Copies of this chain bind each other. A is one copy, B any other.
Amino acid sequence: MKSLAPIILTVIAALTLALNAWAADPLSSWNDGKTKQSIVDFVTKITKAGSPDFIPPAERIATFDNDGTLWAEQPLYFQLFFALDRVKVLAPQHPEWKVKEPFASLLKGDVKGALSGGEPAIAQIVMATHAGMTTAEFEQIVKDWIATARHPVTKRAYTEMVYQPMLELLAYLRANGFKTYIVSGGGIEFMRPWTEMIYGIPPEQVIGSSIKNQFELRDGKPVLVRLPEINFIDDKEGKPVGIQQYIGRRPVAAFGNSDGDLQMLQWTASGNGARFCLVVHHTDADREWAYDRKSHIGNLDKALDEAKTKGWTVVDMKQDWMRVFPLGSQ
């Protein structure tokens, strides 16, 4: 055990440094400038008792998109990589996939060919890999995958491809009495098994797209079975609908990165009193990816225009973020 001592001391020293840095500046991975200042100004004014902009803690709801806002989303949504990996795992049980698209192309390693079938092809892949098991079984499948899978480009764990400045922002808001929610087009049960550990967001504060569940007694034991049928799509117009359905309060702050977040931002911005809307603009091809109006994943076009018209905060990733990914993962 003796040999561990220096490592432990180093870890403690690093943690102490990190904690001190946090105490000094909870948003230490954000470069100084108007973007960072807009966040601090908003939080300061709405938490100041007696201020005309004061918001009671119970109403401090902040909603975050996930893909492209809290973690990366290129070259494909990470949940799609999960589905592709699952197709390979499940292939031996489905000999028919050898000649059936989109599975046949996928199994030959031709991802582009498989996805050329568009949304119907993606829906087939998603249903084949996300339905047919119990909720408990699916949770375990996701946990196993997220613990071991690696991103094809960076070769890092997907959970290391979260944005350090956004982790700090989540913690900063919570330290100021906010309840932080994910409101994502991604699958709700794909996110819940790991969001608490990675983002500090518990399952009950995760809103996402879902398929239907069915209650059954199997040998007298109740289970919830995942059916191959869409229940809810939490994207675009669906985001305010999902927020109302799950939270029943309008957020006072919302964070997104694509046109899929536009309606959530509009819904948040139009509430009474002080409101904060932020769009992450992917401008850093060196440290991450650069994309916006023409991108197939995370298309940011109308929301970028509206952000400028309405004075929402736009994060220029290259300019505003001192660091993109957590220390040690880049």
Q: Contacts A240-B222, A266-B222, A270-B222 given: A248-B206 contact, CB under 8 Å?
A: yes
Residue interface bits A175-211, CB-to-B below 8 A is 1, else 0: 0000100000000110010001000001110100010
Residue interface bits A10-35, CB-to-B below 8 A is 1, else 0: 00000000000000000000000000
Q: A215-B238, A222-B240 are in contact. List 18 more A-B contacts (CB 8 A).
A: A58-B196, A58-B202, A61-B204, A192-B248, A203-B247, A204-B246, A204-B247, A204-B249, A210-B245, A213-B245, A214-B241, A215-B240, A215-B241, A215-B263, A215-B267, A222-B263, A224-B240, A224-B244
Among A214, A224, A270, the most chain B Cβ lie within 10 Å of the Cβ of A224
When C-beta atoms are compared, the residue in chain B nearest to A61 turns out to be B204
How many residues belonging to A are interface residues under a CB distance threshold of 8 Å? Answer: 35
A283 close to chain B: CB less than 8 A: no
A237 close to chain B: CB less than 8 A: yes
A221 close to chain B: CB less than 8 A: yes
A135 close to chain B: CB less than 8 A: yes
Residues in B with CB closer than 8 Å to A248 are 188-189, 192, 203-204, 206
Residue interface bits A269-295, CB-to-B below 8 A is 1, else 0: 010000000000000000000000000
A–B complex contacts, Cβ < 8 Å, 29 sampled? A58-B196, A58-B202, A61-B204, A135-B244, A179-B204, A188-B245, A192-B248, A204-B247, A204-B248, A210-B245, A213-B241, A213-B244, A213-B245, A214-B237, A214-B241, A215-B237, A215-B238, A215-B240, A215-B241, A215-B263, A215-B267, A217-B266, A221-B270, A222-B240, A222-B263, A222-B270, A224-B241, A224-B244, A246-B246
Residues in B with CB closer than 8 Å to A263 are 215, 222
B202 and A267 contact, CB distance less than 8 A? no
Residues in B with CB closer than 8 Å to A135 are 244
Residues in B with CB closer than 8 Å to A249 are 203-204
Residues in B with CB closer than 8 Å to A179 are 204
Residue interface bits A44-67, CB-to-B below 8 A is 1, else 0: 000000000000001001000000
CA distance A192 to B221 in the complex (A): 32
Residues in B with CB closer than 8 Å to A221 are 270
When C-beta atoms are compared, the residue in chain B nearest to A224 turns out to be B244
CA distance A202 to B57 in the complex (A): 12
Q: Which 10 A-B pairs have the closest CB atoms?
A: A203-B248, A215-B237, A204-B247, A192-B248, A215-B240, A222-B266, A222-B267, A213-B241, A222-B270, A203-B249
CA distance A215 to B267 in the complex (A): 9
CA distance A246 to B61 in the complex (A): 16
Interface residues of A in 84-125 (CB under 8 A from B): none
Interface residues of A in 233-254 (CB under 8 A from B): 237-238, 240-241, 244-249
When C-beta atoms are compared, the residue in chain B nearest to A269 turns out to be B222
Residues in B with CB closer than 8 Å to A189 are 248
Residues in B with CB closer than 8 Å to A203 are 247-249
Residues in B with CB closer than 8 Å to A222 are 240, 263, 266-267, 270
Residue interface bits A135-155, CB-to-B below 8 A is 1, else 0: 100000000000000000000
